[in-house]
Amino acid sequence: MIRTICILAVLVSGLLFAAGCEDRVTKENFDAVTVGMRLDEVEDILGSGTLQEASGVNIDGSGLLGSSKNSTHTKDYLWETDNHRIVVKFKDGKVVFKQKSGF
């Protein structure tokens, strides 16, 4: 009897773990992300993203060279699973652009 309970406990734990690892980088979840959402709202849908740190320079419309770190208030976050990728750009804390690949 105790052995049966232990086996059931292990099986239930495995199922709960598998459900927690559900792939959230899907076309359906990409479609659920909309312009104007905050990062916490996007993370409710996609899980935790990875901030993409950009370094280097940019060239403005007049051809002047400038630093990309201080020239913009945007942040790009990446969600990735296998060959599926979702990138969401935030400006002033809200979604302004999203892109998917591998779907």
Distance CA 69, CA 73 (A): 9
Closest by CA to 42, choosing from 83, 4, 85, 95, is: 95
Q: Is the pLDDT of residue 69 over 70?
A: no
Tell me if 42 is assigned to some domain.
Answer: yes
Instruction: Give percent of the chain with pLDDT exceeding 90.
Output: 55
Average pLDDT of the chain to the nearest whole number: 79
pTM for the predicted model, two decimal places: 0.65
Residue 61 sits in a domain whose CATH number is: 3.30.1450.10
Q: Give, in order, the Cα–Cα distances in Å from 62 to each of 59, 73, 74.
A: 8, 20, 21
Residues spanned by the domain of 94: 23-101
The mean per-residue pLDDT over the stretch 22-51 comes to 96
Tell me if 95 is assigned to some domain.
Answer: yes
In this predicted structure, what is the pLDDT of residue 2? Answer: 72
Q: How many domains does the chain have?
A: 1
Q: Is the pLDDT of residue 46 over 50?
A: yes
Instruction: Give percent of the chain with pLDDT exceeding 70.
Output: 62
* Residue 48 banded pLDDT, cuts 50, 70, 90: very high
pLDDT tens column, 89-101: 999 999 999 999 9
